[in-house]
Amino acid sequence: MADHAPRPPAQPETGAPLTEADDAAALEAGRVLFAGECRFAAAAGDRTRIPPGRVPEVAFAGRSNVGKSSLLNALTGRHALARVSVTPGRTRELVFFDLAGRLTLVDMPGYGYAKAPQKLAREWQGLMLAYLRGRPQLRRVLLLLDARLAPKPVDEAVMAILDTAAVTFQLVLTKTDALAGTALATRIEALARLARTHTAAYPEVLATSSRTGAGIAALRATLATLAE
Ligand code: GDP
């Protein structure tokens, strides 16, 4: 279930909440975790192929083109990692990466340019829902949102699915380098408000840019708190 912590104070420059991720020890823990070996572990196109495993897991979800592959590569510092997931035929699969035997990163299929939330719901009925519901080691879903765009109905439909499945999710902005001035703080504040309307949403919104590296160390630190 979502753990609704009290809202932490905000950073003056970005409006982003101060968290344990700002703490030097947490940042170091994140650095150490992601300095470990990251390797492709499995791909599952149907529920029978979802690998067992007890290591804590974090899944990455978002619309196609949100910057998910770039973020996975920026996090792990490896250029070829997420390419595995975009080879033809792999686009409807869950792809599992083992990080130092301490955390499994799961690349969920991008949910397309689907305009109709109903279409998304159909796509997520089978494999995605089976995965989300039957995965006690799944600590959190990172729901990626393009910082330049307001969330689409399809994003909100995914949030509703995660609420129903009682899977904690955290909103992570991508491409924040594309926003100037106060636009980023305004976007973060709007999304924090949106998060408060979802029972499974983690209250803190993370802001990242794979291009500049902004927020990557903080995201690593957050993930280290979830790792074994
Ligand atoms: P995916 O489909 O979600 O895996 O998205 P990709 O990682 O392939 O990125 C989609 C597009 O967004 C590409 O054109 C990237 O160059 C661009 N992109 C990804 N990350 C960033 C970022 O941090 N900043 C900017 N400005 N563009 C980005």
Q: Domain locations in the chain?
A: 38-226
Question: Mean pLDDT, the chain, as a whole number?
Answer: 85
Residues with CB under 6 A from ligand 1: 62, 64-70, 110, 174-175, 177-178, 209-211
The rounded Å distance from CA 64 to ligand 1 centre is 10
pLDDT of residue 3: 47
Question: What CATH architecture applies to the domain 38-226?
Answer: 3-Layer(aba) Sandwich (3.40)
- Strands, sheet with 94-99, edge to edge from the N-terminal-most edge strand: 38-44, 94-99, 103-107, 57-62, 138-146, 169-174, 206-207
In which band, very low, low, confident or very high, does the pLDDT at 30 lie, cut at 50, 70 and 90? very high
- Residue nearest atom 15 of ligand 1, based on CA coordinates: 67
pLDDT of residue 139: 97
Per the listing, tokens 């949100």 go with 66
Q: Is the pLDDT of residue 120 over 80?
A: no
Q: Is the pLDDT of residue 216 over 90?
A: yes
Q: What number does the ligand 1 atom closest to the CA of 85 have? A: 4
Per the listing, tokens 């101060």 go with 18
Q: Is the pLDDT of residue 11 over 60?
A: no
| Mean predicted confidence (pLDDT) in 90-109 | 89
Q: Is the pLDDT of residue 66 over 70?
A: yes
- Collect all residues with Cβ–Cβ distance below 8 Å to 190 and sequence separation of at least 6: 150
Considering the entire predicted model, what is its pTM? 0.87
Q: Is the pLDDT of residue 12 over 70?
A: no
Q: Is the pLDDT of residue 125 over 70?
A: no
pLDDT of residue 5: 47
| Mean predicted confidence (pLDDT) in 155-182 | 94
